[in-house]
Structure 1
Amino acid sequence: MTALAAPAAVRPGGPRHLAGTGTLLRLALRRDRLMIPVWVLLLGLSVVATGPSFASLYDTATKRAELAASMNANGSLRALYGPVFGDSLGGLVAWRMAGFGAVLAAVMSLLIVVRHTREEEETGRQELLSAAMVGRRAPLTAALLAALVADAGVAVLTAAGLAVSGRPVGGSLALGVAIGGTGLLFAALAAIAAQLTESARLAKGLTGAVLGAAFALRAAGDASADGGSPLTWLSPIGWAQHLRAYAGERWWVVLLLAAATALATAAAYALTARRDLGMSFLPARPGPARAPRSLGGPTGLAWRLQRTTLAGWAAGLALAGAVFGGIAKGAASLVDGNQRTREIFERLGGQQSLTDAFLASITGLLGMVAALYAVGTVLRMRAEETGGRAEPVLAGAVGRLRWAGGHLVIALVGTAVVLAAAGLTLGVAYGASVGDVAGGTGRVLAATLAQVPAVWTLAAVAMAVLGLLPRAAGAVWALTGGCLALGWFGPVLRLPQWALDLSPYGHLPKLPGGAVTAAPFLWLTALSVVLISAGLVGLRRRDIG
C-alpha cells in the first residue's frame, strides 16, 4: 500500500493541512542553524570575491575582451565553464560563477529538503509530530520554506555584495536570482524525490542524478555551439547561465525558472497527498526468505545497504570522465597568443602543458565530487542509528567497532572504485582523441586516483564528528562544501596559500604533469587514520541514538 488517495472529507488544499508549518519551520531552521549560514556565506562570498580577482588579473578592457574571445572559441572550456556573454568585470564573474554557483546552491537545497522530509519519516520522528496538531502538508511546506530561506540568503548576499563592490545593480540582481532560483528549483525536485523513494539516501541520490544530468546536458550543449544549443535549454544550469547577467539580462529566463519550480512543487504536493506517512511510490522490493552468507557480518550488511549508491556514483562519474576526456585535446588551442588564459589554467591545474593543466583541473573536480559520495556513505551510520536500525544489530554479537568498520570499508574502498571508474573513462577518452590510449589512460588514471587521500580525509572528518559530536553530523556537509569551494574557486581568486591549505585538496600535487612527492599523500593518510580513530573511540564510549 504505497499510494492512497486522500479521503473525500479531507481536502488536501484545506488550511488545516498546513497547521503547524510555522513551528516546523522554526524547528528546521534551528536544526540547520550552523549548516545554512555556512553554506550561504561560503557560496555568496565566493561569488563576490571573484570580482576583485578578475579586476587584478584583467585590468583593461582589451585583456578582458581577449579572454572572452579565447574562451568562446574553445569548446572544451565552454563545456567546463559555459560561454562568456560579456567581457566586463561583471560579465566575467557571471561566466565563472553562474553555473558552479547554481550547482552548489542545488546541492545545499536538496540536502535541506530531504533532511526535513524523507529523513524525518525514515527515522520515525515525523510520525510523532503528525500525531499532534501538524497538517499533512506542513512538513513539506516547512522544508521548502527552509530551502527558500537559504536560497534567498545566497541571492541577497550575492546581489548586495556585487552591487556594493561596484558592479551594476541589474546584473548583480540577475546573478543572485540565477543562483538562488536554481537552488530553489532543485529543492522542489528533491521534494518530489522524497515522495518517490523510501529512504533519504535514495532521495538524495535521485536528485543528485538529476543534477548531474543537468550539468552534463549544459556541458554538451555549450561544447557543441558557441552560445549554447537546444541541449543547453534542457538544463536548469544552462538557464542560470543564459540569464546573461551583466550582458543584456534576459529576465524572461526567471519566469522559466519560476514556472519549473511551481510545477515541481505542485507535483510534490500532489504526491504527498496520495501516500501514507512513511510509504513511498517506489518501495523497496521484499528480500528473499533466507539471508545469503554475505549478510552474516557487518561488512556484508553495509555492502548490501550501500551497493546501489556505489554503482550509481561510479556510473555517473564514469560518464562525466568520458565527456571531459573527449574534449580535453581542444584545450591546447588556447595557448595561441593568449598568456592570460594560460595563467588561469596554470593556477587551476599546475605549471605543466595546458592540456595537462586542463586534465589536472578535471581530475581535481572529480575528486571533489567523489567527496560527496564518501561523506554520505559515512553519515549513513547516523541515519541507521537515528532510524533505530543500528540498535538491533548491536544488540547481537556485533560490536560497535565492527559495525562502524563495515561502513568505513565501503566508504574508503568505494572512494577508490568511484575515482577509478572516472579516471578510466577520462583516460580512455583522452587517449583515443590523441591516438595513445594506453599511455593516456595510465597517466590520467593515476592522476585521478591521487585524489583518494584528500577524499579519505573528508570522510575521516565525518567519522570523527559522528563519533564525538553526533548531533553536529549535518554540519559535515557544510564543511565539505567549504573545502570544495576552496579547492575550485580558491586558485582563481588568488587566495593565500594558508587559505588553500585549509582544504585537503590544496596539499595534493597537480597531476598529470606536476611534480610528485610522497609527503602530502602520507600526511593526509595519517591524518585520516587519526580522525577515524578518534571517531571510533567516541562511538565506542557514547550512547547510541
Structure 2
Amino acid sequence: MLRFLLRRDRVVLGSWIALIAGVVLSVTAQYSRMFPTAEAALSFARDVAGNTALTAFTGQLTAPTLQGLILWKIGDVAFILTALMAILTVLRHTRAEEESGRQELLRSTPLSRCAPLASALGLAMGASLLVGVLVAMIGGLRFGLAVTAPGLVFAAVAGVAAQLTERSSTAHLIACGLLGLTYGVRFAADGSGLLWARWFSPNGWSHLFLVSSWVLVVPLVATALLTVVAFRLNLRRDFGAGVVPARPGRTGGDVSLPWRVHRTQLIGWVTAFALAGATMGGVAAGMRGAVDGGSAVMSEFLRRYGSGELGDTLLWMIMISLGGTAALFPVLVVLRLRADEVSGRAELLLSTAMSRMRWAGGHLLVAVAGTLAMMTAAGLAAGRGDLRVLTAALLQVPAALVVGAVAMLAAGVAPRAAAAISFVVWLAVNMFGEIVGPSLGIGYDVANLVSPFHYLPRVLTGEQLTAAPLLGLAAVAVFFSSLGMARLRVRDLG
C-alpha cells in the first residue's frame, strides 16, 4: 500500500519536498551574500530585533548571527509548509479516497481496515522526515528537526480529522483551521511579548526547540497520542461515515445546491477569519510609536509598506496576509467543480434541467460571496469599528478573486492540471514576492509584480484610495473566469 501511494504521489510529494528545501536553500544563499561578516549580521539583527511587527510574523530572533537570521527569516514559513504538506497528503489518501469510493474497492482485497490510514500517515511522516534531513544538510540538525516536528504533529491531526466527518472538505477545514489557529496563537505570543503562549502552538514548539532541545519531546508525545486516537476512531466508526453523523440535505434548485455543498466550510472560514482578525488586530492595537527608518533595512521596510506608524503598518501587513490566505477559498470552490466532474456527480447533475453555466456559475457566486464575507469578518474584528481597517480588508477581495479566476480558467482549459496550476499560482502569489524572488536576486518591487495584492492602494499606510487598480483586478478576474466557463461549456466532461 505504501509503494502504491509513493507511486501515485511521486510528482506531487516530490514537488512539495523540493519547494520547502529549495526555499530554505535560497534564503540561506541570499543571507550569506547579504551578511558576509559577523559584524554585518549583528547590525541587521539589532535592526530587526526592535521591530515587533516583523517579530510577530517571523517569531523571535534566537541569535544575532547569520544562522540565527536565516532561522528567523524562513523558519516559520518552513514550519507551516511542512505541516500543510502533511495535512494534504494524509487527507488525500484517507478521507478523499473513502468519499470517492476508491478505498472501498481496495478494501475488497486482502487489505486490513487500518492499512490505508497507516500508509497515509507513514507517507506524510516520512516526507516530513525527508524534508527535515534536507533542511538539516542546509541549516543544521536543530533546524531540520524543528521543520520535521510540525509535519509529524499535523499528519496525526489530519488522521484524526479524517475520522470525524464523511466529507473531505470538512476534514480539510478542521485540520487546516487548526493549523491557522495555532499560527495565530504563535503570532499573538510573539507580537505581544507573552512568549509563554507559544506552548499552546505546535508552531511555537518548533520556535522553542530552536532554543531548548528538550522541547522536541512535546511534539513527539502529541504525535503519538493523536495517532492512537486516529486509529481508535478508525476502528470504531462505520466505513464511509464519520464519527460525527452527516445530516440529510434538502431538495433545492441550482442556487441552493452550491451553498449546501460549501456551507460548512464557508462558515468555518468566516469564523476563522473573524478570530484571526480579532487576535492579530488586538496585537496591532497594542503597538504604539513609529518605525525607525534610519537603517537601510528599516528604510526598505517602510518603502514596501508605506508608513512609519507601527500599529498601522502591522495592520496592513495583516490584511495582506489574510487576503493571500483568503485567495485559497475560491480556488477550493472552483476545484470542487473538477472533483464532481471526475467522480461522475456532475454528469448525473447535468442530466437534469441544470445547464453547465448555471452549475459553474452557482459555485462562482459562492466563491465571490464567501471571499467577501471572510474579509468583512476579518476587517470588522481587526478594526473594532475602524472603517479604515474594514476598507483595507475589503480591498483584498478583488486580488483574491483573481487567483480563483485563474483556477476557473485552468478548470476549463486544462482540467487534468487544474489542481496543480491553481496551487502553484496560490503559492507564487503568497511567496514569490517576499521570499522566493528576493532570494533569487530579484528585487522586491519586481518580484511582487506577480502578485495581484501588490497593486492595491495601501490605505492604512498613507496612500489615497483609488478605483483604477481595483477595477483593473476585477476586470482580470471576470476575463479569466469567462474564458474558463466558455471552455467548460463546450469541452467533453472528464
Question: Under a length normalisation based on structure 2, what TM-score does the superposition of the two structures give?
Answer: 0.90
Give the equivalent residue in structure 2 for 1:14.
none
Partner in structure 1 of residue 302 of structure 2:
346
Higher RCO (CA-CA < 8 Å; seq separation 6+)? 1
- Please give the residue correspondences for 1:70-219 in structure 2 after superposition, counting only pairs within 5 Å: 77-162=54-139, 172-219=140-187
Alignment partner of 1:470 is 2:415: yes
CA distance in 1, matches of 2:437, 2:313: 13
Q: Which has the higher helix share?
A: 2
Measured after TM superposition, the shift of residue 449 of structure 1 is 1.6
| Other-structure match for 1:495 | 442
Moved more, 401-410 or 382-391: 382-391
Q: Structure 2: which amino acid aligns with 1:416?
A: L
Q: Relative to 1, partners in 2 of residues 1:222 and 1:238: Cα closer, same or farther, differing over 3 Å? A: same
Superposed, 1:311-330 pairs within 5 Å as: 311-330=267-286
Structure 1 residue corresponding to 2:470, chosen from 481, 504, 521: 521
Partner Cα separation in structure 1 for residue 190 and residue 233 of structure 2: 35
Out of 25, 29, 45, the position equivalent to 2:6 is 25
Q: Separation in 1 of the partners of 2:307 and 2:52?
A: 22
Q: Kindly tell me: are residues 211 and 453 of structure 1, through their superposed partners in 2, closer, same or farther at Cα, counting changes over 3 Å? A: same
Cα–Cα, structure 1 residues 467 and 145, in superposed 2: closer, same or farther, change >3 Å?
farther
Q: Deviations over 1:211-240 (max 9, x none)?
A: 1221122223334446x21x2112100011
1:22-421 aligned at under 5 Å gives the runs 22-27=3-8, 29-30=9-10, 33=11, 35-55=12-32, 61=38, 64-65=41-42, 68=45, 77-162=54-139, 172-225=140-193, 228-229=195-196, 231-244=197-210, 249-287=211-249, 291=251, 295-296=252-253, 298-333=254-289, 335-336=291-292, 339-340=295-296, 342-343=298-299, 345-346=301-302, 348-350=304-306, 353-421=309-377
RMSD: 2.7
- Alignment correspondent of 1:506: 454
CA distance in 2, matches of 1:491, 1:317: 28
Taking only the aligned residue pairs, the percentage that are identical comes to 40
**Could you say which residue in structure 2 is the equivalent of 1:539?**
488
C-alpha deviation, 1:354, in angstroms: 4.2
Deviation at 1:341, TM superposition (A): 5.5
1: CA distance, partners of 2:7 / 2:171: 23
Paired residue type of 2:187: A
Counterpart position of 1:168: none
| Pairwise CA distance, 1:310 | 1.6
Amino acid at match of 1:466: A
Question: Contact 1:349 / 1:356 at 8 angstroms: preserved in 2?
Answer: no
Give the secondary-structure state (helix, strand or coil) at the position aligned to 2:236. coil
CA contact (8 A) 1:71 1:83 kept: no
Distance 2:142 2:290 in 1: 30
* Structure 2 Cα separation of the partners of residues 337 and 519 of structure 1: 30
Q: In structure 2, what is the Cα distance between the partners aligned to 1:491 and 1:477?
A: 18
Aligned residues: 490
1:474 is paired with a residue of what secondary structure? helix
1:539 partner letter: L
The AA in structure 1 aligned to 2:455 is H
* In 2, Cα distance between equivalents of 1:133 and 1:478: 38
1:450 aligns to what SS in structure 2? helix
Q: What per-residue deviation string (whole Å, max 9, x for no partner) do you get for residues 174-203 of structure 1? A: 222212321232111111101111111000
What SS is found at the alignment partner of 1:87? coil
Q: Is the 8 A contact 2:437 2:447 kept in 1?
A: no
Look up the equivalent residue of 1:26 and give its one-letter code.
R
Shift, 1:480, TM fit:
1.6
SS of alignment partner, residue 501 of structure 1: helix
Equivalent residue for 1:486, pick from 422, 432, 443 = 432
Alignment CA distance shift 1:177-1:542 (3 Å): farther
| Alpha-carbon separation, structure 1, partners of 2:43 and 2:381 | 33
Give unpaired runs (5+ residues) of structure 2: none
Unaligned 5+ residue runs, structure 1?
1-19, 163-171, 429-436
Q: Is the 1:78–1:222 Cα contact (8 Å) retained in structure 2?
A: yes
TM-score (structure 1 length as normaliser): 0.82
Q: Deviations over 1:271-325 (max 9, x none)?
A: 222233211101212346xx3xxx22x2211112212222211121111112222
Q: Quick one: structure 1 residues 36 and 507, their matched pair in 2 at CA, closer, same or farther if it must change by over 3 Å? A: farther
| Equivalent pair of 1:347/1:491 in contact (CA under 8 Å) | no
Structure 2 letter corresponding to 1:495: I
C-alpha displacement at 1:366, in angstroms?
0.7
Q: State whether residues 197 and 203 of structure 1, in contact with CA within 8 Å, keep that contact through their aligned partners in structure 2.
A: yes
Answer yes or no: is 1:455 the counterpart of 2:400: yes
Residues in 2 aligned to 1:343 and 1:57: alpha-carbon distance in whole angstroms: 16
Inter-partner Cα distance in structure 2 for 1:316 and 1:449: 16
